Structure 1
Amino acid sequence: MLAPVPDLADYGISPDHGFLPSELPLTALPDPYYTRWEAIASNLQGLLLSKRIRETVDRLPTLSTSYLQSEGEWRRAYVVLVFTLHAYVWGGHRPEERIPPQLTIPLLEVCDHLELPPVATYAGVYLNNLTSVNTFTGSLDEQWFYLVSVAIESRGGPTLPLMLRAISAARKGQSGIVTECLHEMAERLDDIGALLERMYENCDPYVFYNRIRPYLAGSKNMAEAGLPDGLLYDDGKAPKYGQYGGGSNAQSSLIQFFDIVLGVEHRPTGEKPQTPETNKEGVAGRPRHGFIQEMRSYMPGPHRRFLEHVNAVANIREFVEARRSDKALCIAYDACLYMLRTMRDKHIQMVSRYIIIQSKGAREQTQPAARSSAKPQNLASTRPVDKKKLRGTGGTALIPFLKQARDETGEPAIDAWARRLLGDAPVPSGFAALSKIGENSDGHIEVVGLSGTWAADEKKNTITMADNNSSTLKSYVDSATGLAQRAVGTVTGSSTTQVEGQTTQDQSKSEHAASHDTAKLGHVTADPQTGATAQDNPSRNTGSWDQTVGSAKESVGNFIGNENIRRQGVEQNAAGKEAEAKGQLKDLGEGVGDRAQGKLGGIGAAVVGDREEEEKWRQIHDEGKVRQRGAEEDIDKKGGA
């Protein structure tokens, strides 16, 4: 007899918002008894900057958890305690391995109640910290880092009832309904990939790597970071060492749900695929180990049990494989795999920019000649003994794990072309060979940076820059050359010369477009050609943030049915748009003015031969140019939105 399809309500999961909590998380514990906990959480940034976090925690009394009443209070206590835990461990010059009883005892009790390990998990940092109330740094970058994941969870929530419906339809042989569900699933996955890329808007890679990421690290595989045995949880009776991975996206129940319903199987990193075996519905698949499987133990108990239930009834992959002649069904299924793999490609590119490239800079700073004073020992300052295994906060070898998970996503593809596009299958006859998406044929990952294309090779831990930057001057030269070639070809009747001229002119258009591109890093606009940068007008930053917070409040208000919060969100969003628009116009006007002033000043300095003055005016001109173009680009984006 087949197991019943899961009912979301049995696991406390929302059909609209998925694994996000069904009620807005508490911003503080209501009982005054816990004021001391909340005081530390609300002053975490100051305590970390002043290096007083440990002495403050050491002076705490051991508070009882008996005054925690609702599930919301238990979850809030977990957030407060794990943020305090990680600040205590990583908030000094060296990590502290012993956790005092006043933190250990209540933390273990809270974690036991919530079925979570005593470490900052994805659930604690993201799901139960929904409005980014708690941060280690107090920065917009950290808040944005959390909010992007919350947005992804919210957008992906409706896929849970959607794919459970598909499983039920597959049992009844209803191909049309399964195809319809897969179509919508692919669209949702595409939306999630777009949300992931919004990380670049307000989370700076340098800030993330050096200020945020060290606090998210766990205690597993952290010997090089100063925790060879993990953490010693001292309960005052029988202290025990424990090793736990830190917060990782692999702990997202939503991402694992995608894999399960689509039949994507993951193996331990480095293990090759075995001969495919047909699994019958209703029979749990053979046990698979590895990091992704292990991460389920970091999920809230109900979420973990839900995934186990879904795993026992998942049948979409087998259903599609048995109907290969149904092209619409196969295409819809392969589209889901493609979107999920593309999302993982984007994640790898993001990791390259936020971690691989940043780690190279950190290693250079740890060279003896460049070291002016000892740096704190943590995940950012650590120089791995094995350079091939730069580790994530969860403790796994970072890039090998991510690349294998990405490649495994394409393995179930049905169509021959899809298998080639999504994996390493041989090229079918008549098809052109393709490199992996977002990756060179030699396995190097390319990331577009401020100065062009950077290739990151995790095996060698090297970063190289491709010499492919174009300039405005070269674009004009090529344009003129192309026009001349076309004219000569027309006069002489040489079609070859005309084609060469058209090709050269087309190339010039691309070069000219490239020369007008600007790159955005947080609140700074940069010109890849000149290296000039311009800080955005503060109104643009505050306006953008007000829109983000306003939209979040509006969503939360709708979420919990609170009209007051929803209205506040609408008003804050509108005020943010107005402030951002004013800032954009101010930057646009100042940019145009600085360009003109810089140009005229430079001409005057050149006439009298004052090179130093000429350089000063050139810098004013270049900064004005990048400020103008950055504002124009933002205005164009808003206008097209």
Structure 2
Amino acid sequence: MGTLDIRLFGMDPARGFLGAPGLAETPLPEVCEAVVEAGQVLPDLLVSDQLRARLAALPDPVSDSLLREAPEDKLRALMVRYSFLVQAYVWADAEDPAHALPASLAVPIWRLAGRLGRKPLLLYAGYVLDNWAMIDEAGPSELGNIRMVQKFLAGKDEAWFVLVHVAIEAEAGRALGLFDPIVEAARDGDATRLETLFADMDRIWTEINSIFDRMPEACDPYIYFNRVRPYIHGWKDNPALPGGIVYEGVHESGGRPMAFRGQTGSQSSIVPAMDALLQIGHEDDPLKAFLDDLHAYRPPEHRRFIETARAVSTVREAVMTARSAPLTEGYNQIVRQVVRFRTRHLEYAASYIHKQSRTGSGNDTEVGTGGTPFMKYLKKHRDESEKHLLATGTQ
């Protein structure tokens, strides 16, 4: 078992960064029943005038003993529920977002986040990685056989948006399984093996990109912008919530507003892990600060994997040292695949967000759900990836 074997980081080789299927439906202690029920009826509450009153009255089941004794899968399942309830409370009225979370939500999500090493709001981990299940448990983890568990409004477009990401993460698990042998081959200077592994990685990324291409099949840009996106915003760098929101009852906050970035696909660990493997760097400018900040919003074990890959990979150096045209082309082809993925992400950001009419005080077409100037941010990282293509003419 090598340094980058994902089992060392608490992850399953068959799923990569994904949590277990059905994790969000893990049976919880009876004291959590009201929270689970609120999550289940959330689509109904969001079209009523009772949501905030109902959520403010929830009991708090997150005791010291629960945090100490409950298995991590149960805490993550509870975190999924609370993450959605918190977002729904804040953004139930887009024209009048809540500037404070009641203690019934603020205290339990704060404590759960602290226990899990996460932030106290909806993150990519709760929205995607831990929020899916199989339809046919004997079938594959792919579109057509996976479903979204916790939902906001429960529309087809909402589910498809999440499930495309789930399917990408599932396929990317195969790519993560190649990290350890690729790093080993690079360290050993085994150009033949490295070339074969690059070809395997290229095939996996062809499938990843083909899955990403399917987003428009069942997620319409207008519906996404007006019925999906409003609920996944955070409260850092969000003009609708200057300074953030108050987490009532949370002593650590001192009663001050707290600002956290919202859920965004840029919190996925796939592309940053590829950057680390391929030794792709990004220029140190104000936009890189967003990239560095988002790293703290990933689950701790994912952060450790990326940081380890960054520390041990000599892949780019090995390719340059080998001076082999076929090996260089193999490396470049993987870089092109990552560029293609980033290009598609940029295109979707343009059509699903930037080109939409601005509606609602919190649903800005210039600022991403993670609080970033997303068009500049995504374009910068796409262009910087492309600059890492290696010249093959002299080899």
Change in Cα spacing, 1:50 to 1:311, as seen in structure 2 (3 Å) is: same
With normalisation by structure 2, the TM-score equals: 0.90
The answer to whether the aligner puts 1:263 opposite 2:279 as a matched pair is yes
- The correspondence for 1:166, drawn from 154, 172, 182, is 182
Contact 2:24 2:78 in 1 (8 A): no
Q: Take 2:26 and 2:6, find their aligned partners in 1: how far apart are those partners?
A: 28
Q: Take 1:406 and 1:63, find their aligned partners in 2: how far apart are those partners?
A: 44
Q: Take 2:20 and 2:343, find their aligned partners in 1: how far apart are those partners?
A: 31
Paired residue for 2:387? 411
Which structure 2 residues correspond to residues 111-150 of structure 1 after superposition, within 5 A?
111-131=113-133, 132-150=148-166
- TM-superposed deviation, 1:22: 4.2
Contact 1:338 1:410 in 2 (8 A): yes
Q: Take 1:290 and 1:136, find their aligned partners in 2: how far apart are those partners?
A: 31
Change in Cα spacing, 1:130 to 1:267, as seen in structure 2 (3 Å) is: farther
Q: Take 1:168 and 1:395, find their aligned partners in 2: how far apart are those partners?
A: 38
State the SS of the aligned residue for 2:237. Answer: coil
With normalisation by structure 1, the TM-score equals: 0.56
Q: Take 1:130 and 1:167, find their aligned partners in 2: how far apart are those partners?
A: 31
Q: Take 1:400 and 1:268, find their aligned partners in 2: how far apart are those partners?
A: 14
Q: Take 2:354 and 2:58, find their aligned partners in 1: how far apart are those partners?
A: 39
1:393 maps to amino acid = T
Deviations 1:501-539 (A, max 9, x none): xxxxxxxxxxxxxxxxxxxxxxxxxxxxxxxxxxxxxxx
- The correspondence for 2:101, drawn from 99, 102, 116, is 99
Paired residue for 1:321? 320
Contact 2:4 2:179 in 1 (8 A): no
1:209 maps to amino acid = F
- TM-superposed deviation, 1:270: 6.4
Identity of aligned residues (%): 30
Q: Which has the higher contact order (CA 8 A, sep 6+)?
A: 2
Deviations 1:297-316 (A, max 9, x none): 11111111121111110111
1:108 maps to amino acid = W
Q: Take 1:266 and 1:136, find their aligned partners in 2: how far apart are those partners?
A: 35
Q: Take 2:92 and 2:283, find their aligned partners in 1: how far apart are those partners?
A: 35
Q: Take 1:112 and 1:106, find their aligned partners in 2: how far apart are those partners?
A: 10
- TM-superposed deviation, 1:210: 0.8
- TM-superposed deviation, 1:79: 0.4
Change in Cα spacing, 1:270 to 1:100, as seen in structure 2 (3 Å) is: closer
The answer to whether the aligner puts 1:202 opposite 2:218 as a matched pair is yes
Q: Take 1:377 and 1:314, find their aligned partners in 2: how far apart are those partners?
A: 44
State the SS of the aligned residue for 2:358. Answer: helix
Contact 2:9 2:302 in 1 (8 A): yes
Q: Which has the larger radius of gyration?
A: 1
Paired residue for 1:70? 71
TM-align CA RMSD = 1.9
Change in Cα spacing, 1:263 to 1:133, as seen in structure 2 (3 Å) is: same
Which structure 2 residues correspond to residues 293-372 of structure 1 after superposition, within 5 A?
293-324=292-323, 326-358=324-356, 361-362=357-358
Show structure 2 runs of 5+ residues with no match. 134-147
Contact 1:267 1:290 in 2 (8 A): no
Deviations 1:323-344 (A, max 9, x none): 22x0110000000111111111
State the SS of the aligned residue for 2:246. Answer: strand
Paired residue for 1:32? 30
2:379 maps to amino acid = K
1:323 maps to amino acid = A
Q: Take 1:48 and 1:269, find their aligned partners in 2: how far apart are those partners?
A: 40
Paired residue for 2:17? 19
Q: Relative to structure 2, which stretch is displaced further, 25-34 or 346-355?
A: 25-34
Contact 1:169 1:178 in 2 (8 A): yes
Contact 2:21 2:132 in 1 (8 A): no
Q: Take 1:217 and 1:255, find their aligned partners in 2: how far apart are those partners?
A: 22
- TM-superposed deviation, 1:155: 0.5
Show structure 1 runs of 5+ residues with no match. 272-288, 364-375, 384-389, 418-641
- TM-superposed deviation, 1:239: 2.2
Change in Cα spacing, 1:267 to 1:124, as seen in structure 2 (3 Å) is: farther
Report how many residues are paired.
373
Q: Take 1:154 and 1:206, find their aligned partners in 2: how far apart are those partners?
A: 27
Contact 1:317 1:412 in 2 (8 A): no
Contact 1:269 1:401 in 2 (8 A): no
